[in-house]
Amino acid sequence: MKSLPPVRRVITGINAAGRSFLERDGPTPAQFTVPEPRGYRIPNLWRTGLPGLRSSAAATPDDIKEHNSVMPPIGGTILRVIDFRPRDEDLEVRRRQPISTFVAIYPDAFHQPQHYRNEGMHMTNTVDYAIVLHGEITAIMEEGETVLRAGDVLVQRGTHHAWLNHTSNIARVAFVLVDAPLFS
């Protein structure tokens, strides 16, 4: 199985003369890798918070390297892309992978694998826009599931959910998480 190329991140800005320009072009400085089971990669691309929304959007700092959770900043957003490898046939590997991911980089997600029908079932206090960029992925709910293909969009509204790639190819999904304290 061939990996997909790294996500290219192009960031615009306003220069000293007040004109738009391409400020950054290349890979994100905030890519997380979970070694178990096979180099699961998660590049975070951009985040916003309340301070950035109160000033010019072009003046929002590129502070994505500071972000180390699944949740966006309070009142903000996070954009990330996840490459989902095909489901491993080894049941023990499938059990360990989500636990490794949630412990290593997403400890703030509500993850209780023992209570659900899929080891990766979790919930966040966010509204998520999941946009399938490449391949296909299965969205799993507590009741029901659906296959999403390139071009499909799922709006996840603070519900328990999991993702599973049943194919033999990588699925790439872009996620925009919007802070939405639904359960406060």
d(CA 56, CA 150): 33
Q: Is residue 14 part of a domain?
A: no
Sorted by sequence, the CB contacts under 8 Å of residue 120 that are 6+ apart come out as 97, 98, 101, 111, 113, 140, 162, 163, 164
Its pTM stands at 0.80
Nearest to 19 by CA among 58, 62, 57, 61: 58
Give domain status of residue 6, yes or no: no
Residue 16 inside a domain? The answer is: no
- More confident position, 109 or 10: 10
Indicate the number of domains in the chain.
1
Tens-place pLDDT, residues 131-184: 999 999 999 988 899 999 999 999 998 888 888 899 999 999 999 999 887 544
Q: Give 73's DSSP letter.
A: P
Per the listing, tokens 């007040």 go with 18
Q: Is 75 left (phi over 0), alpha (psi -120 to 50) or beta?
A: left
Identify the CATH number of the domain in which residue 173 sits: 2.60.120.10
Inside any domain, residue 2: no
State the DSSP code for 161.
B
Q: What is the span of the domain harbouring residue 172?
A: 28-179
Task: Calculate the average pLDDT of the chain.
Answer: 81
Query: pLDDT above 90 covers what percent of the chain?
Result: 24
Is residue 103 situated within a structural domain? yes
**Section 87-105 average pLDDT:** 70
- Residue 107 located in a structural domain: yes
The span from the CA of 157 to the CA of 148, in Å, is 17
Would 123 be classed as within a structural domain? yes
| pLDDT value of residue 167 | 94
Query: Which ranges constitute the DSSP H helices of 19-90?
Result: 50-54
Residue 143 lies in a domain: yes
Asked whether the predicted pLDDT for residue 116 surpasses 70, the reply is: no
